[in-house]
Chains A and B, each alone.
Chain A
Amino acid sequence: MSGEPGAGTLRAPRRAAGFAARADGTSGEKPLLEVERISVRFGAVLALNQVSLDVRRGEILAIIGPNGAGKTTLLNVISGFYQPYEGRILFEGRDRTHLRAPDVAALGLARTFQNVALFRGMTVLDNIMTGRLLKMRGSFLWEALYWGPARRQELEHRAFVERIIDFLEIQAIRKTPAGRLPYGLQKRVELARALAAEPTLLLLDEPMAGMNVEEKEDMCRFILDVNDEFGTTIALIEHDMSVVMDISDRVAVLDYGRKIADGAPADVRANPAVIHAYLGVHHE
C-alpha cells in the first residue's frame, strides 16, 4: 500500500488554479475525478443508472436530488464502499473502479458520513488522530514502545492535528469524548478527522443535516475556508438549497438514479427538469 509513489503527498493546486479552471468553464485541465456511466444495482433496484460526473480540481461541487435519488450511493461508489455494476471511475486519470475503500483513502480521498460515525468513547483529539492512521509508518513494536521514530512520528502527526483543531476552532473540546458533544460539533469533528488525512478530494455527505442556522453558517464558512486555504476539492451532498446556492461552484442533480442536470447553481435552479423533480411531479 505504501508502494504508490507520492501517494498521500499529492496536493491540489492552490485556489488560483481552481479559479482558472472554473473561469473558462470547459477546463483544459483533466478533471480530478471522472465517473463514467456508472450503474449500481441492489437486487432488482437500479440505484444508479449510467451516471457520469466530473469533479474538477479546486471546486466545490454539490450533488442534490430528492430522497432516494442515489446521492449517497454515488458517494459510496466513489469512496469504494460499493462496487459498480458497470462503468468506471478515474481518479487523477487512473482507473480505480475496483479499488476497496482503504485503498481509495490512500489515494487521497476522505469523507464524512450522513449519520455521524465517530468513536463515541474516544476524545475528539484521538478521533482526529485516527484520520492520520494512513500516514503512519513503522512497526507495531516501535509503536508499542513509543520510542525513537515512533515517538517522533506521533509528535509530527499531533502537530498536524493541532493545526486542524485550530483551523476548525475546536480547542475547547479537544479532550471531550466525542459522544458527549452536541450534534453540530460532532459533525465538525468528523470534518476534522477527514481533513487529518490531507485529502485531495473531500466527500461530505449532508454536512449540515440537523443543524441550526448558526451551526450551518459556521459549517459553510469552514467548508469555504478548507477549499480556500488547503485547496481541497470538495464534493458534497446537501438538501438546504440556500446553502447549496451559496457555497458551490457547480451543482449536479440526481433523480431516480439518473443525472438530470449539471451546471452553475443559477442555471440548475432555472432548469425545468430540476423544478419538476423537486415539486414532485408524477413519474410513471
Chain B
Amino acid sequence: MAPTELSQPTNGSAHLDPTGDTFPKLLLRNVERFGDKVAIREKDYGIWQSYSWREYLAQARLIALGLAAVGFKRGDKTAIVGDNRPQLYWAMLATQALGGVPVPLYQDSIEKEMEFIVDHAEARFAIVEDQEQVDKLLQVQARCPRLERIVYDDPRGLQHYEDAGIVSLAALQELGRRFDQEHPGYFEREVAQGQADDVAIICYTSGTTGQPKGTMLSFRNLIVTGRNAIAYEGLRASDEVVAYLPMAWIGDHMFSFAQSILTGFTTNCPESPATVLQDLREIGPTYFFAPPGIYQRILTTAMIRIEDCAGPKRRMVRFFLDLARRVERRRLAGKPVPPGERLLHAVGRVLVYGPLRDNLGMSKVRLAYTAGEAIGPELFEFYRALGVNMKQLYGMTESSALICIQRDGEVRLDTVGTPLTDVEIRVDPSGEVLYRSPGVFVGYYKNPEATQQTKEDGWVRSGDAGIIDKDGHLRIIDRARDVGRLADGTLFAPKYLENKLKFSPYIREAVCVGQDRPFVAALLNIDVTAVGSWAERRGLAYTSYTDLSQKPEVYELVREEVARMNRSLLDEPQLRGAQVRRFLMLHKELDPDDQEITRTRKVRRGFIAEKYATLVDALYSDEDHVSVEAKVTYEDGRIGTVRADVRIREAEVFASGAPA
C-alpha cells in the first residue's frame, strides 16, 4: 500500500516578529542591513540602471505619499499593470505601506478581462507602465467609475491626454514630496500599522475554467513560505534573479518581490520582453525560475543556431549532447557511469556544455526551477545534462507559490520532490492531492463559496492528481479532472502526452483527445520560428502560419516527431496503449485572446474540444482532410474569421515487442 500522507516538521518559522511582519517593515530594515547594496536593476537606454535598497525605499515612499495626497485610504486596492519594472514593484510596496492591497494584472490582458478584475477588486487606483495600458484602463474606467486615478510611468505618447484622472508617476511623486513636508512621519506611521495577517496581495488566477478568482494572500503566508524556501535552498543576498515573468503571477511575486526583500538579493528587470534572452546572458542569474515553455523556447533558439552551424561543428555538438543525455539519464536513475563516458563527458564540458550554458545565460545558475506544468523528460534531461541544476517544484497561487521542492541530490524526472518545511500533503482516495501549510491562502476575494469548495480545515484541494512514491516524493500525473481512460480502459493522461510532443522544437502546442475513444488523437500547433527556419533552409516558400502549417512537407516533418514520441512510450507499461494514431495541424495558433490557452499558456482542453468539435470528429472518421472556419480575436479586440482546409495524417504506432 503506497503512503498517502507526507509532511515536513516545523522549524518554528511561522512565528513572525512584529517589527518585521510586513514587506514595508522589512524594507525599512533592509535599508539598515544593506543600505547601498543594489536591490533592483533595470536595463534602460542600453545600460543597466541600478537602485540600492535605500533608493528602493525612497522611491516607494514617495509613491506612497503621492497616493496618500490623492486620497488613498487603508484597504484601497491598486491595480498594477505592465512589464516587470522597478517602478511597478515600488508601486506594490507603496500600496502595502498604506495598508492597501496591490492587484497585479496580466499586461497582455484585453480590456474585457481587465474590466472584470478592476471591477471585482473595486480598485480605486491603477499604476501602469505606459500608453498601451492607459488606453485600456481609460476604456475600463468608462464602465468602472470606481477607478479614480490612473498613474503611468512612461510618458511617451501621453502628453496630449487631457483626462483629469491620469497623472504621471513623476508628478505623483512630486505630490508625495509636498505631502511629506505637510505631514512629516506619515509614511512611517502607516507602515507601523501593518500586521502579519493583513492581506498583502490579491492575485487573480487565470483559471482554466470560469471567471478568474482573486486569491488573497497575507503577509504571513508569503513571508513564512518565502523564508522556509530560502532556508531550504540556502538563498543569500548575493543572488541575482531576472524578473521577466508576468508580475500578476504568484511565482514572480514570490521570487522577484517577496524573497528579494526577505534576503536582500537583486532583482533584474529586462529591457523589453523581446530582449529577455540577451539580458539573461548579460546578468547571468544565480537563481532562475521558468515554466517549461520558457525553457523550451530558450532551447529552441539555441537549437536553431546549432542547426545553422557548419557541418563538423554541428556533428560535434550533437555527439556531445547525446552523450550528456545518456550520462544524465544514468545519473537520474542512480546507475554508475562507465569510465570512458565519464572521460568524454569531461571533454564535452570544455568544448560544448560550458560554452552552450554561457550562451543560454545559465553559466552562474545555482538553482533553476521549473514548475507550472509537468516538464517533458527530454527537456529536463537536456538542461541537467548541460550541468544546470534544474529542479522541479510544485505549488500554486493558493499555497503562496510553494508546496514541494526537489532537494539537491534527490532530483528525479518524474517527481516534484518532498514537501517544504511546515507543509503537509495528503492524497485522497480519488487521487487528488490536498495540502496544508502556513502559506495557505486567506480566501478568494468576495467569493466565499469558492473558498469553501477549495479549503476545508486548512486543507486545500489542489485539483491535481498525484501519487506519493515509495521514497516519499510527490508525483503529479495530470489535472485531476483530465486523467481519463480510452474506450478499452487504457490509462489516458493527456498532459503527459502533450508535454512529450512539445519537446520537439517543431511543435509549439499540442492537445490530445481520447477520453472514451478507441485511440488517442492530437491537434498540434507548429512552432513557427523553428519550422519557418526549417522551411527556409529547404527553400520552401510560405505566406502565413496557416499556409506553412498545412504544407505536406511540414506534415511529414511532424509525423516523424509524433512517431518518436510514440516510440518513447514503449518504456512505460501503463501508457504504452495511449500512442497517438492520428493527428492534424491546427490552422491557427492557440491564443489566450481566443480563450484557448490561459495567459500562463495552459491549454484549456474542454474549451478546445468544443470549439474544434468538427476537427475532433474528423480525427475519428476516415477523412484525410476537413475544412474549418474559426473566429480569431485580434489584439485590438476586433473579431475576424479564418477559413482553412486542414489535413489529417496517420502516425506510426509501435507494438510493445518492437525494439526501442
Q: Which residues of A contact B (CB under 8 A)?
A: 158-159, 162-163, 165-167, 169, 171-172, 174-175, 225, 228-229
Q: Are the CB atoms of A165 and B278 closer together than 8 Å?
A: no
Provide the main secondary structure of the chain A interface.
helix
**A159 neighbours in B (Cβ, 8 Å):** 45
Instruction: Tell whether B156 is near chain A: CB-to-CB under 8 Å.
Output: yes
B43 to chain A, nearest CB (A): 8
Contacting residue for A166 out of B45, B157, B160, CB 8 A: B45
Residue with the highest number of chain B CB atoms closer than 10 Å, among A165, A169, A171, A225: A171
| Contact A169 to B272, CB < 8 A, known contacts A162-B45, A162-B46 | yes
How far does the alpha carbon of A167 sit from the alpha carbon of B155 in the complex, in Å? 12
Across the A-B interface, how many residue pairs have beta carbons closer than 8 Å? 30
**B278 neighbours in A (Cβ, 8 Å):** 172, 175
Residue with the highest number of chain A CB atoms closer than 10 Å, among B44, B46, B278: B46
Q: A171-B275, A228-B159 are in contact. List 7 more A-B contacts (CB 8 A).
A: A162-B46, A167-B156, A171-B272, A172-B271, A172-B274, A225-B156, A228-B157
20 contacts between A and B (CB under 8 A): A159-B45, A162-B45, A162-B46, A162-B47, A165-B45, A166-B44, A166-B45, A171-B46, A171-B275, A172-B271, A172-B272, A172-B274, A172-B275, A174-B46, A175-B278, A225-B157, A228-B157, A228-B159, A228-B160, A229-B156
1/0 contact trace for B13-48 toward A, CB 8 Å? Answer: 000000000000000000000000000000011110
1/0 contact trace for B268-284 toward A, CB 8 Å? Answer: 00011011001000000
**B271 neighbours in A (Cβ, 8 Å):** 171-172
How far does the alpha carbon of A169 sit from the alpha carbon of B47 in the complex, in Å? 15
B56 to chain A, nearest CB (A): 23
**B274 neighbours in A (Cβ, 8 Å):** 171-172
How far does the alpha carbon of A171 sit from the alpha carbon of B272 in the complex, in Å? 7
**B46 neighbours in A (Cβ, 8 Å):** 158, 162, 165, 171, 174
**A225 neighbours in B (Cβ, 8 Å):** 156-157
**A171 neighbours in B (Cβ, 8 Å):** 46, 271-272, 274-275
Q: Which residue of B lies closest to A164 (CB)?
A: B45
How far does the alpha carbon of A180 sit from the alpha carbon of B489 in the complex, in Å? 53
**B275 neighbours in A (Cβ, 8 Å):** 171-172
How far does the alpha carbon of A174 sit from the alpha carbon of B43 in the complex, in Å? 13
Residue with the highest number of chain B CB atoms closer than 10 Å, among A167, A175, A228: A228
A171 to chain B, nearest CB (A): 5
**B contact residues, range:** 10 to 19
A26 to chain B, nearest CB (A): 25
A253 to chain B, nearest CB (A): 30
**B157 neighbours in A (Cβ, 8 Å):** 225, 228
Top 3 nearest A-B pairs by Cβ distance?
A172-B274, A162-B45, A162-B46
Q: Which residue of B lies closest to A14 (CB)?
A: B159
How far does the alpha carbon of A166 sit from the alpha carbon of B157 in the complex, in Å? 13
**A228 neighbours in B (Cβ, 8 Å):** 157, 159-160
1/0 contact trace for B42-73 toward A, CB 8 Å? Answer: 00111100000000000000000000000000
Q: Which residue of B lies closest to A162 (CB)?
A: B45
A13 to chain B, nearest CB (A): 15
Residues of B506-550 at the interface with A, using a CB-CB cut-off of 8 Å, are none
1/0 contact trace for B157-192 toward A, CB 8 Å? Answer: 101100000000000000000000000000000000
B119 to chain A, nearest CB (A): 30
How far does the alpha carbon of A175 sit from the alpha carbon of B46 in the complex, in Å? 11
B276 to chain A, nearest CB (A): 9
**B159 neighbours in A (Cβ, 8 Å):** 228
How far does the alpha carbon of A216 sit from the alpha carbon of B108 in the complex, in Å? 22
**A175 neighbours in B (Cβ, 8 Å):** 278
Q: Which residue of A lies closest to B273 (CB)?
A: A172
**B272 neighbours in A (Cβ, 8 Å):** 169, 171-172
B66 to chain A, nearest CB (A): 25
A36 to chain B, nearest CB (A): 35
How far does the alpha carbon of A165 sit from the alpha carbon of B274 in the complex, in Å? 13
B612 to chain A, nearest CB (A): 26
How far does the alpha carbon of A171 sit from the alpha carbon of B83 in the complex, in Å? 15
Q: Which residue of B lies closest to A173 (CB)?
A: B274
**A172 neighbours in B (Cβ, 8 Å):** 271-272, 274-275, 278
How far does the alpha carbon of A171 sit from the alpha carbon of B274 in the complex, in Å? 8
**A163 neighbours in B (Cβ, 8 Å):** 45
B495 to chain A, nearest CB (A): 32
Residue with the highest number of chain A CB atoms closer than 10 Å, among B44, B45, B160, B275: B45
**A229 neighbours in B (Cβ, 8 Å):** 156
How far does the alpha carbon of A169 sit from the alpha carbon of B272 in the complex, in Å? 9
**A174 neighbours in B (Cβ, 8 Å):** 46
How far does the alpha carbon of A171 sit from the alpha carbon of B157 in the complex, in Å? 18
Q: Which residue of A lies closest to B272 (CB)?
A: A171
How far does the alpha carbon of A163 sit from the alpha carbon of B45 in the complex, in Å? 6
Q: Which residue of B lies closest to A229 (CB)?
A: B156
Q: Which residue of A lies closest to B635 (CB)?
A: A214
**A167 neighbours in B (Cβ, 8 Å):** 156
Q: Which residue of A lies closest to B274 (CB)?
A: A172
**A165 neighbours in B (Cβ, 8 Å):** 45-46
**B47 neighbours in A (Cβ, 8 Å):** 162
Q: Which residue of A lies closest to B155 (CB)?
A: A229
Q: Which residue of B lies closest to A163 (CB)?
A: B45
**B45 neighbours in A (Cβ, 8 Å):** 159, 162-163, 165-166
B186 to chain A, nearest CB (A): 35
1/0 contact trace for B446-465 toward A, CB 8 Å? Answer: 00000000000000000000
How far does the alpha carbon of A190 sit from the alpha carbon of B156 in the complex, in Å? 21
How far does the alpha carbon of A228 sit from the alpha carbon of B157 in the complex, in Å? 8
How far does the alpha carbon of A158 sit from the alpha carbon of B47 in the complex, in Å? 11
A128 to chain B, nearest CB (A): 11
B632 to chain A, nearest CB (A): 14
B588 to chain A, nearest CB (A): 16
How far does the alpha carbon of A159 sit from the alpha carbon of B44 in the complex, in Å? 11
How far does the alpha carbon of A174 sit from the alpha carbon of B275 in the complex, in Å? 10
**B44 neighbours in A (Cβ, 8 Å):** 166
How far does the alpha carbon of A228 sit from the alpha carbon of B159 in the complex, in Å? 9
Q: Which residue of B lies closest to A217 (CB)?
A: B636
Q: Which residue of B lies closest to A221 (CB)?
A: B157
Residues of B238-278 at the interface with A, using a CB-CB cut-off of 8 Å, are 271-272, 274-275, 278
**A162 neighbours in B (Cβ, 8 Å):** 45-47
B250 to chain A, nearest CB (A): 28
Q: Which residue of B lies closest to A214 (CB)?
A: B635
How far does the alpha carbon of A165 sit from the alpha carbon of B278 in the complex, in Å? 16
How far does the alpha carbon of A189 sit from the alpha carbon of B46 in the complex, in Å? 16
